[in-house]
Every structure is written in C-alpha cells, then in structure tokens.
C-alpha cells in the first residue's frame, strides 16, 4: 500500500526532516508513528498527501509513484487519502453538516449524493444529532469527530491522523482512537502520529519510532518506548 | 460540471460582497483607467476631424491668363491630376469664373462697377487644386513652375493652413502625451489594485482555501472564483464607463460643433457605430490585464 524507498527530506537551508527512510505499510494496517518533537513525524505524514516532496528517494502509494507528483494530480491523491490534524481545521462559520459537505462540494459532487454521504459519515462518528451545530458549540472531541467524518467522505483507502488527540483530554482521546480503530476495521489503512504513550500502549498494533529523522524501531504489537 | 460552475459562481459573488469596499475601489480604478483611455480616443477622433476639416479647405487657386489656349489648361489639369499629392482638380471656365466673381461680390457695387468698366470678361480659366495633406502644398506650388504652362499662369492664390494644422497637431501631441502618461500610470495602479484585491481575497479566505486543498479541491476550483470575480468587476467597470461616456459625448458634441463652425463632428455617431467594437476591445484588454494580475497574485499567494 505505502512504500518509502531511501526517502530523505531536507528543509532549506539544511535542516534534516527525514533521512533514509525505508518503510512498507500493507493495506489495512494500523500504524502508530511515535517519536519526540522535531523528529520528522509530520514530515513523513505530509509527504504522503504531497504537502511536501522528498528530496531523495521514492514514495509509492497504492502502486502510484507520488515522488514527483504534478500539482494537478495532487487533488486526485487527496481525495483518496483522509487527513486529520491536531487543530481540526474546521470552518467556524459553517455548521457540522456544512463542514462535511464542503469537502464534497469542492470536488464537484452532486447535491443529491452529498445529501446521502454526509449523514452517513456523521453517523459513523456518532454525531447524528449535531448536524446544525457550529464548531464553537462542540467539545474538542466532537470537533475532531467532525474532522474525521469529513476525511471519510471519499471513502479513503488511507487515513492519516497527525496528533489527532493533541488537544484532547484522556477520555476524548480514547474515543477518537477507538473511532480510528473502528475505521481501520472497515479496511482503511490508518497512520496515527502521536506523542501519547498511553494511547500507543492501548492500541497494541505496529509502532514505528522516529529519532532525528530516521526509523530507530519498527515493531508489530509495539509499545511506546523512548 | 454544472454544480461546480454554480459553486464557483457562488464563491465569486461571496468574495465580491464580503469585500464590498475593496470591490468598489477596484471598480473605481478600472473605471478611471477606462475613462482616460476613452478620453484619448475622443481626443484622437476630434483631432482627426479637425485636421481633415482644415485639410478639406486647403486649395490652390490657379488663374490663367485670359487668352490661354484650352490645350494648355487641359495639359496642366492632367499634369496636376497625375501628382500623388493632388486630391482633386476642378476647372472653372472663364464664364463660370465671371459668374462666381459677380456672385461673390454682389453686395459691393464698387467692385462690380470696376468690373463693368473693364468691359467683357477679364477672367481666364481657373483651376482649383486640392491637396491631400497640408504639407503637400509646397510641392504643388513647385509643380506649377513647370515651364509648359508657367507663363500662362497669371496668379496663384492659396491660403496657408499649414500653420493652423501644425498648431493643432502640436497641441494634440502634447495632450496625447500627457494622456498616455496618465493612462500608463492608471493602468499600473489598476494592475496593482487588482493584485492587492486578489491578495486580500486570498488572505481572507486562507483558512477555507487551506481546507479546500486538504480535501482535494482542484487547483482550478480554488482559482476560478478569483478569476470570475475579476471578470465580474471588469464587466461592471465597462458598463459604468459606457454609462459615463455616452452622456458625456452628448454634452461634449455641441461644444465641439461650436468650434468647428459646422453642424456636427459626428462624435456620437462615431461612438454609436463603433461603440460595440471599442468597448468590446476595451473589455477584452481589461479582462486580460486583470486576469494577468490575478494570476500573478495567485501564483504568489496561493501557491497552486
Ligand atoms: N517547512 C519547514 N521548513 C524548515 N524546517 C522544517 C519545516 N517543517 C519542519 N521542519 C523541521 O524538520 C524537522 C522535523 O519536523 P516535523 O514537523 O516533521 O517534526 P515532528 O516530529 O512532527 O514534531 P512535533 O512532534 O513537534 O510535531 C524539525 O527539525 C523541523 O524544525
Ligand atoms: Mg508534528
């Protein structure tokens, strides 16, 4: 599903983002990526949805070499990858429903399809009763669920979550991780970037640890070390 | 496709209304630029009219001796007609010349009396030679020095409009220069303002745009509202200019006619016949300029 071959990323002037990353993630896996601040976790994630291009090496996703993806193909890629961030990235002036619908509107999806998809994904994240609320009227956990719902509208094969629980308390964090696991059970490959020891230990799935831009450990059913 | 068009249009109108005053400023600048362009056009047209109306009056009257043979006159006519500077040659026979003269001086008995005293027809054939342009004039006079008929010519009479034309040209040249400078400045300002409007638009919508990018909106979908908004502003500007220019012309036309001492210089006529083309071209150029400026701003601030 996802292949990194000798991938390095240098940020100008000469900051190392990633160095010589070799990585293989199969379809349907749930992978946690851990490591201290500034070790290149977000850089790795960003390269998957072509927010950053590698300086060296090649990246493949679903058989598609996205190493030097053209800017007009980036939207095509992003409709196949869901992304979720620490800061939710919701539009404050739109309701829950509208925020989710927005992702479909900008892709030119017909209104009738939108009316089908949006309630369905909001149902997955358990926000049936909150369609008309605005983000300010939601808890952090609820906002993150809206973001997850939005990331699911195109039925992505891969979901990338970069510290989705960074702004949440323990209880809400658990809820989000449970949700991600459920999404993973439906067949979506999930990449979870996190700092949170407790979360990683709960998941008991593959854990990749980064340090200084390189992979220092990659274990099935891992625990948070460091 | 249709849904996208609808959504893009909606975004464009939202941009327009959310930055209402910015839109107003942008349109104002575009209108000012266009008005300058049109004033230059009008000036051009009026000058051309003025010069050609003066040029119409440029003629050399050639009076032949009374006893000149018709052949000599004819050969002079065909010689003159062969010159590239000559627009037209009109021959006036001695009889007609007499009639014209009496007609012209019918109110002054003194002149007529003296004519009578001479007895008979003192006039020879007369040629009225019209030049194509004011500066051709001297060449025509030179040509009349041709030995074939030089001695048959009693008198040459011409009014020197060259100076008048030079003055008209000199003045308009200066006005035109100023106009062009102002136009250049306005165009530069207009481009900067459009650039800035788009920049601010992008800034205001940065969050939305960022999210659009993340969820896979095509570059085109992100750019189109800004382009459409600018086309919309250009369209409004050109409509406003039309609404300003036509009443303006109606007010100006009588004033010009007064200077030209004839009924109409056809300014309104000219704009009625060519209005569609003139404003069409102006709109086209305006759209190209605003879109260029928009693209520049987008390239710089949108990075798509
Ligand atoms: N756009 C950029 N320009 C220059 N340097 C950058 C840029 N983005 C990241 N870096 C640097 O690259 C390194 C890796 O950054 P990255 O964001 O991937 O870290 P991270 O592991 O996600 O950290 P955190 O846990 O704090 O989010 C850091 O040293 C960072 O300063
Ligand atoms: Mg990070």
Residue B79 sits in the same domain as residue B105: yes
Query: Does B98 lie in the same domain as B45?
Result: no
In chain B, what residues touch A151 (CB-CB under 8 Å)? 215
The verdict on B244 and B183 lying in the same domain is yes
Distance CA B287, CA B304 (A): 21
- Residues B205, B108 share a domain: no
Q: What is the pLDDT of residue B260?
A: 65
| A150: nearest CB among B7, B208, B215 | B215
Domain shared by B173 and B150, yes or no: no
Same-domain check for residues B90 and B145: yes
pLDDT tens for residues B20-64?
888 899 999 899 989 988 988 888 888 888 777 777 777 788 888
Q: What's the pLDDT at A226?
A: 59
Nearest Cα neighbor of B231 from B37, B15, B68 is B15
In whole angstroms, what is the distance from residue B178 CA to residue B168 CA?
A: 15
Sheet containing B59-64: order of strands: B86-92, B126-131, B59-64, B153-158
pLDDT surpassing 90 at residue A168: yes
Q: Are B64 and B72 in contact (CB under 8 A)?
A: yes
- CA of A214 from ligand 2 middle (Å) equals 15
Tell me the ligand closest to A38's alpha carbon.
1
Task: Give me the residue label for tokens 């409007």.
Answer: B197
Query: Could you tell me the two tokens for B141?
Result: 């006079």
Domain stop point among B141, B158, B175: B158
Q: Report the C-alpha gap between B98 and B276 in whole angstroms.
A: 51
**Backbone angle region of A88, left / alpha / beta, with phi > 0 → left and psi within -120 to 50 → alpha:** left
Q: Tell me the mean pLDDT in the region A63-84.
A: 94
Tell whether the torsion through CA atoms of B144, B147, B153 and B154 is positive or negative.
positive
Compute the distance from residue A220 Cα to the ligand 2 centre, in Å: 23
Q: Residue whose CA is closest, atom 17 of ligand 1?
A: A42
B231 to chain A, minimum CA–CA distance in Å?
21
C-alpha separations of B85 from B27, B58, B64, B134, B171 in Å: 48, 12, 21, 10, 25
What is d(CA A3, CA A11) in angstroms, rounded to the nearest whole number? 21
Q: Do A49 and B214 touch (CB under 8 A)?
A: yes
What residues have CB less than 8 Å from B176, skipping those under 6 apart? B40, B43, B44
Contact (CB, 8 A) for A129 and A146: no
Does A225 reside within a domain? Answer: no
Using the beta-carbon criterion (under 8 Å), do A106 and B219 form an inter-chain contact? no
Residues B80 and B121 in one domain: yes
Phi, psi of B60 (to 5 degrees): -110, 125
- B7, B214, B219 member nearest A105 (Cβ): B7
pLDDT at A184 over 90: yes
CA A207/CA A179 separation, integer angstroms? 18
Note whether B96 and B169 are same-domain residues: no
Interface confidence, given as ipTM, is 0.88
- How far, in Å, CA of B146 to CA of B62, rounded? 13
| Distance between CA atoms of residues A81 and B62, nearest Å | 93
3-state SS, residue A19: strand
Residue stretches of chain B with pLDDT short of 50: none
pLDDT of residue A29: 95
Predicted pLDDT at A89: 95
> How many domains is chain B built from?
2
- pLDDT of residue A24 exceeding 80, the answer is yes
CA distances from A100 to A89, A121, A191, B131, B233 (A): 11, 9, 21, 78, 31
Asked if the Cβ–Cβ distance from B218 to A71 is below 8 Å, we say no
Domain identity same for B40 and B63: no
Which of A58-62, A198-202, B101-105, B290-294 has the least mean pLDDT? B101-105
**Ligand 1 centroid to residue A41 C-alpha, Å:** 8
Residue A113 vs residue B266, higher pLDDT? A113
To test ligand 1's pocket by mutation, which of A17, A52, A54, A83 has the most ligand atoms within 8 angstroms of CB?
Answer: A17
Q: Which of A9, A43, A192 to mutate to test the pocket of ligand 1 (most atoms within 8 A of CB)?
A: A43
Q: Is A29 helix (H, G, I), strand (E, B) or coil?
A: coil
d(CA A220, CA A149): 28
Structure tokens that stand for B194 in this block = 């459009």
Contact residues of ligand 1, CB 6 A cut-off: A 11, 15, 17, 35, 37-43
Q: Test B304 with A83 for CB contact under 8 angstroms.
A: no
Going edge to edge, which strands form the sheet with A15-25?
Answer: A15-25, A2-11, A56-61, A64-65
* Statement to judge: residues B255 and B268 lie in one domain: yes
Strands A189-193 and A158-162: parallel
Alpha carbon of A79 to those of A50, A107, B196: distances in Å?
Answer: 12, 8, 32
Answer yes or no: do B196 and B289 share one domain: yes
How far separated are the first and last CA of chain A, in Å rounded?
28
* CATH number where A38 lies: 3.40.50.300
What domain range is B291 assigned to? Answer: 2-54+164-301
Choose one of B100, B132, B158: the last residue of a domain: B158
What's the CA-to-centroid distance between B164 and ligand 1, angstroms? 76
* Residues spanned by the domain of A157: 2-219
Q: What is the rounded distance in angstroms from the CA atom of residue B10 to the CA atom of residue B228?
A: 10
Q: What per-residue confidence (pLDDT) applies to B272?
A: 85
3-state secondary structure of A220: coil
Task: Point out the domain boundary residue: B115, B137, B158.
Answer: B158
Please indicate whether, in this complex, the C-beta atoms of B214 and A76 are within 8 angstroms of each other.
no
Pocket perturbation via mutation, ligand 1, pick of A37, A42, A208, A214 by most ligand atoms within 8 A of CB: A42
Number of domains within chain A: 1
Under an 8 A CB cutoff, do B216 and A103 touch? yes
Q: In this structure, what are the phi and psi dihedrals at residue B190, rounded to the nearest 5 degrees?
A: -60, -45
Query: A32 lies in a domain?
Result: yes
Q: Give me the mean pLDDT over the A78-104 stretch.
A: 95
- Across A46-50, average pLDDT: 94
- Ligand 1 centroid–CA A153 distance in Å is 29
Query: In sequence order, what are the beta bridge partners of A162?
Result: A85, A193
**Nearest neighbour of B212 by CB, restricted to A71, A72, A106:** A106
B24 and B71 belong to one structural domain: no
Residue A149 has pLDDT above 60, yes or no: yes
Closest residue in chain A to residue B4, using alpha carbons only: A108
Asked if residue A29 is part of any domain, the answer here is: yes
Q: How far is the CA of A215 from the centre of ligand 2 (A)?
A: 15
Distance between CA atoms of B32 and B253, rounded to whole angstroms? 21
- Residue A221 scores a pLDDT above 80: no
Optimal mutation site among B215, B217, B303, interface A, most CBs of chain A within 10 A: B215
Residues of chain B with C-beta less than 8 angstroms from the C-beta of A79: 215-216
């Amino acid at each position: 599903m996802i292949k990194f071959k000798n991938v390095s990323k240098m940020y100008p002037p000469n900051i190392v983002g990633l160095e010589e990353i070799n990585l293989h993630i199969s379809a349907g896996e749930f992978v946690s990526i851990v490591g201290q601040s500034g070790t290149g976790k977000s850089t790795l994630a960003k390269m998957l949805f072509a927010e950053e291009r590698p300086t060296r090496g090649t990246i493949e996703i679903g058989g598609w070499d996205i190493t030097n993806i053209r800017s007009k193909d980036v939207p095509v890629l992003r409709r196949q990858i869901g992304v979720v961030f620490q800061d939710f990235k919701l539009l404050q002036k739109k309701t829950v429903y509208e925020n989710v619908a927005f992702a479909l509107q900008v892709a030119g999806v017909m209104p009738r399809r939108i009316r089908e998809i949006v309630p369905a994904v909001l149902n997955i994240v358990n926000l049936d009763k909150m369609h008309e609320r605005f983000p300010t009227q939601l808890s952090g956990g609820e906002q993150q669920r809206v973001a997850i719902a939005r990331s699911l509208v195109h039925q992505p094969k891969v979901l990338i979550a970069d510290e989705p629980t960074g702004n949440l308390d323990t209880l809400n964090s658990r809820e989000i991780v449970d949700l991600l696991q459920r999404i993973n059970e439906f067949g979506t490959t999930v990449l979870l970037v996190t700092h949170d020891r407790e979360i990683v230990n709960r998941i008991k799935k593959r854990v990749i640890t980064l340090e200084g831009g390189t992979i220092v450990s990659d274990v099935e059913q891992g625990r948070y070390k460091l | 496709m249709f849904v996208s068009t609808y959504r893009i249009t909606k975004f464009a109108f939202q941009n327009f209304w959310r930055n209402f005053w910015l839109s107003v400023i942008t349109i104002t600048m575009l209108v000012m630029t266009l008005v300058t362009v049109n004033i230059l056009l009008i000036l051009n047209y009026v000058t051309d009219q003025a010069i050609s109306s003066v040029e119409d009056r440029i003629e050399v009257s050639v009076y032949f001796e009374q006893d000149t043979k018709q052949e000599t006159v004819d050969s002079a006519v065909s010689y003159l007609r062969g010159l590239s500077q000559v627009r037209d040659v009109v021959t006036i026979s001695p009889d007609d010349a007499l009639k014209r003269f009496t007609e012209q001086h019918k109110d002054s008995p003194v002149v007529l009396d003296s004519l009578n005293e001479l007895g008979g027809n003192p006039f020879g054939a007369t040629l009225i030679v019209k030049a194509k342009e004011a500066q051709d004039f001297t060449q025509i006079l030179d040509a009349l020095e041709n030995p074939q008929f030089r001695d048959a010519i009693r008198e040459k009479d011409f009014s020197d409009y060259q100076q008048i034309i030079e003055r008209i040209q000199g003045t308009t040249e200066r006005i035109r220069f100023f106009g062009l400078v102002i136009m250049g400045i306005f165009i530069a300002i207009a481009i900067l303002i459009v650039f800035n409007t788009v920049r601010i638009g992008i800034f205001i919508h940065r969050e939305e745009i960022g999210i659009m990018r993340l969820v896979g909106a095509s570059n085109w979908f992100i750019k189109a509202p800004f382009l459409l908004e600018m086309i919309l502003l250009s369209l409004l500007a050109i409509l406003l200019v039309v609404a300003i220019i036509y009443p303006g012309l109606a007010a100006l036309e009588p004033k010009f006619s007064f200077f030209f001492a004839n009924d109409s210089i056809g300014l309104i006529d000219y704009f009625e016949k060519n209005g569609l083309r003139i404003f069409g071209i102006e709109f086209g150029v305006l759209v190209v300029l605003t879109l260029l400026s928009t693209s520049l701003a987008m390239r710089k601030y949108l990075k798509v």
